[in-house]
Structure formats: C-alpha cells, structure tokens
Amino acid sequence: MTETATRGRARLADPGEGIGLDELALATRNHGMPLEALRHDVTPPGLHYVLTHYDIPAVDPERWRLEVTGAVDRPLELDLTALTARPALSARVTIECAGNGRARLQPRPVSQPWLLEAVGTAAWTGVPLAAVLAEAGITAGAVDVVFTGADHGVERGVEQDYARALPLAEALRPDVLLAWEMNGAALPPQHGAPLRLVVPGWYGMAHVKWLTRIEVLDRPFEGFQNAKAYRLKADLDDPGTPVDRIRPRALMAPPGWPDFMTRERFLRPGPATLSGRAWSGRAPLRAVEVSTDGGATWGAADLAAADPAAPWAWRAWTAPWTPEPGRHELVVRAVDELGAQPLEQEWNRQGMANNAVQRVPVTVLPD
C-alpha cells in the first residue's frame, strides 16, 4: 500500500450541510434495493443493492485465476473450470451493507449516503471455501485469511486492492462459499464476476467480489479495510471495534402508493395488510413488532417460520391494519435473541451498523 495525495480523512458534514455532489455521484453508482422489492423472497435480477468502492473491473474469465497462498502446505492456482467442476452448494443469503442507514445520522459521516435500501437476498452457488482451504492445507499458527479483489483504488489517501480478512474460524465455517452464480445465472459484473466470497450473517464488506487471491496469514491482517475502515468508533483517534455480523432489522414494503417527489405514502381506508422482511446475522430472530401510532403502542406481526434450508435469509412478516382516514406513522422493529432494534440510533464516526427502526408516514384518504 502506498500513500497518494488525496483527501486523507473521512469527513463529517457540517451542521445543516446537504448531500454534496461527491455523495450524489456515489449514490448513483451504488444503488439500493427499491423497498417494494421486499415483496419478493429472492430479490429479482437488477434490484439487489450494489456497493463498489472503486471501479467494477472487467475480468476476463478465461485468463482469471484464483491463487491460494500464504501459510498453506500446498499453494494452489485454480481456474474457473477447475473450480466449477467441484461439488457445488446453493444458499439463499441476505446481505446488507454496513453503511445502511448512514444518511440519517447527525452529524452525517460523508460517504455513500444510504437510507434503508442497502440490502438484498440472492441464491448463491459455489463451493465451500473450507474445502479449498483443506486442499491447500492450512499450517499450524494460521490466524486470519485475507481475500483480495481485482479492483484497485485509493481511499483516504491509501492506494490499495480491495482486501478484507476473516478470522480463521469464520473462514472455515462450512457455509462460507466461493460463489460463481447468483440466482441460477453467472455472476453479473457488478456482483463480482467471475467469483465472489459469501459469508452468511456478516455485513456486506466481508463478501469480497472479483476474488483473485486468498492468503492465509500467521498474524492478524492490518490492511485498510479491516484496520481503518469498518470499525465502530467514537472519533478519529479511537481504534474502535470491528464491524462483523448483521444486527437485527425489519423493513416494510411501503403500503399504498407514493408521491413522485416526496415518496410520501397514500392509502384508501379499509382493511390492509402490512408486509415486509426481517433478518439478523448475529442471533436467531424472535419476533417482528409493528406500531401504527409512531411507536406509542406495538403489536406482534405474523413472522414466517425459519426455513431450515436458509438460516441466513430474511423472513417474511405480515400484519393486518384497518386504518381510519388521517395521518399515521408506521414503525416496524425486529427482535432477535440479543434484543430489539433501537428506536434512536447510537452514533458512530463511520456511520456503521445503524439499525434504527424504519418509520413510514402514511396519509389515509377520506372515505
């Protein structure tokens, strides 16, 4: 990694400062999942959110190789034919960006300004990473496994290939995949073609796209995306703690119809069914609760049973609602075995892992 002359530190927006053109440029490249797509159990093609730090690389699948190196007995170099010839698994997994919810923090960390849409669920097909690591033979004393992508850029003055490490125990989980298919088709360029890592339960940054290199380390990885970025910290000098597993969240497919500009929702009176999805990567979900009065009172939603074949995929929920004409604020929260989503978000310097509840103002029209 080399230092190059660009803005070296992450900035906080000044009080009252709106979203700037640099944030708008990020927001147009990195699109969210439109919340109406919560009606689909598997996010339809093109609607899954996308987050890419640098450029989407054009990787030639013929010339592409995966290197497995470092603290291993037998370094490997695999091409796509060799990988895809292995026994494959498919898993339906919900992935959420750790920056989801950042744009509502006050003061606002200047970065990709997500509201709530940085999430999606896909069926990923590939081989277990553990099988490939076993073939390479991990040496005693290994602690971290580093995954490097083909994309290159500069971030806060540090030039780098995108690289993230997992602790060895996580990398050896049987459900961590090296995936070449998304929803039964070859990975699209924006989602990591020809090969990406899928780490069920972890926030998005761990799921390294355009994977070219796996390196087993006998010491902790000190790279930018682990040591500097993706940390929960109070200020610039705080080393912070690593962001890892997804906190609980429930989202609602906004009911009724939207105003084009404000996205405000309108509904006719009479019986309606509120619906959405809920997930957690850190603990099993217990319940989803819905409030139709801005959080004053709560009722249990009907939460679909966990699918034993897809323990890391979101679950559907529904709640009946028969509103009277007038303005209402709908709120939904997921509760997992470690607790409920917060009503107000705890602030952190990088705007990470913000799982404050979604609030949906709705106007129910007169009869």
Ligand X SMILES: Nc1nc2c(c(=O)[nH]1)N[C@H]1C(S)=C(S)[C@@H](COP(=O)(O)O)O[C@H]1N2
Tell me the C-alpha distance between 2 and 154, whole Å. 9
Which position among 149, 200, 201, 240 is part of the footprint of ligand X (CB under 6 A)? 149
- Decide: helix, strand or coil at residue 91: strand
DSSP assignments along 195-214, one per residue: -EEE-TTB-GGGS-SSEEEE
Q: Is 314 in the site for ligand X (CB under 6 A)?
A: no
Of 319, 331, 354, 365, the residue nearest 98 (C-alpha): 354
Cα-Cα-Cα-Cα dihedral of 260, 263, 264, 265, to 10°? 90
Tell me: does residue 204 bind Mo ion (CB under 5 A): yes
Beta carbon nearer to Mo ion, 292 or 350: 350
- Environment class of residue 122 by beta-carbon count within 10 Å: exposed (0-12), middle (13-18) or buried (19+)? buried
DSSP of 1-66, one letter per residue?
Answer: -EE-SS--S--BPPTT----HHHHHHHHHS----GGGGGSSSPPTTTS----SS------TTT--E
Query: Does 48 participate in binding ligand X (rule CB under 6 A)?
Result: yes
Point out which span in 6-14, 204-212, 334-342, 351-359 binds Mo ion (CB under 5 A). 204-212
Considering the complex, state which of residue 27 and residue 89 has its C-beta at the smaller distance from Mo ion: 27
The reply to whether 151 sits near ligand X by the rule CB under 6 A is yes
CB 295 within 8 A of CB 258: no
CB closer to ligand X, 181 vs 329:
181
Binding part of the chain for ligand X, among 21-29, 44-52, 253-261, 289-297 by CB under 6 A, reads 44-52
Contact pattern from residue 253 through residue 292 relative to ligand X, giving x for each residue in contact according to CB under 6 A and a dash for the rest: ----------------------------------------
Using rule CB under 5 A, residue 192 touches Mo ion: no
91 scored as a contact of ligand X (CB under 6 A): no
51 binds ligand X (CB under 6 A): yes
Beta-carbon count within 10 A of 64 CB: 18
Number of residues in contact with ligand X under rule CB under 6 A: 19
Q: Which is nearer to ligand X, 102 or 209 (CB)?
A: 209
Does position 310 interact with Mo ion (CB under 5 A)? The reply is no
Cβ contacts of 186-194, under 8 Å, gap ≥ 24: 188/45, 189/56, 189/58, 190/50, 190/52, 190/56, 191/48, 191/50, 191/122, 192/149, 193/59, 193/61, 194/59, 194/61, 194/64, 194/80
The residue range among 33-41, 91-99, 139-147, 234-242 that interacts with Mo ion, by the rule CB under 5 A, is: 91-99
Binding piece for ligand X, criterion CB under 6 A, among 50-58, 103-111, 170-178, 215-223: 50-58
Q: Examine residue 102 and tell whether it contacts ligand X (CB under 6 A).
A: no
The residues in 51-70 that bind Mo ion, with binding defined as CB under 5 A, are 51
Q: What angle do CA 172, 354, 303 make, to 5 degrees?
A: 75
Contacting residue, 50, 97, 179, 197, with Mo ion by CB under 5 A: 97
* Partner touching 267 among ligand X, Mo ion, none, CB below 5 to 8 Å by kind: none
What lies within 8 Å, CB to CB, of 24 at 6+ separation is none
Residue closest to Mo ion (Cβ): 97
Q: State the distance between the two ends of the chain, measured CA to CA, in whole angstroms.
A: 64
Closer residue to ligand X, CB minimum distance, 208 or 303:
208
Nearest alpha carbon to residue 187 among 177, 176, 196: 196
Contacts of 82 (CB under 8 A, 6+ apart): none
Task: Kindly write out the interface string for residues 174-213 of this chain, putting x where it contacts ligand X by CB under 6 A and - elsewhere.
Answer: -----------------x------------xx-xxxx---
Residue 162 contact among Mo ion, ligand X, none, beta carbon within 5 to 8 Å by kind:
ligand X
In the window 53-72, what residues touch ligand X (CB under 6 A)? 53
**162 is a contact residue toward ligand X (CB under 6 A):** yes
List interacting residues with ligand X (CB under 6 A): 48-53, 95, 97, 120, 149, 151, 162, 191, 204-205, 207-210
List interacting residues with Mo ion (CB under 5 A): 51, 97, 204-205
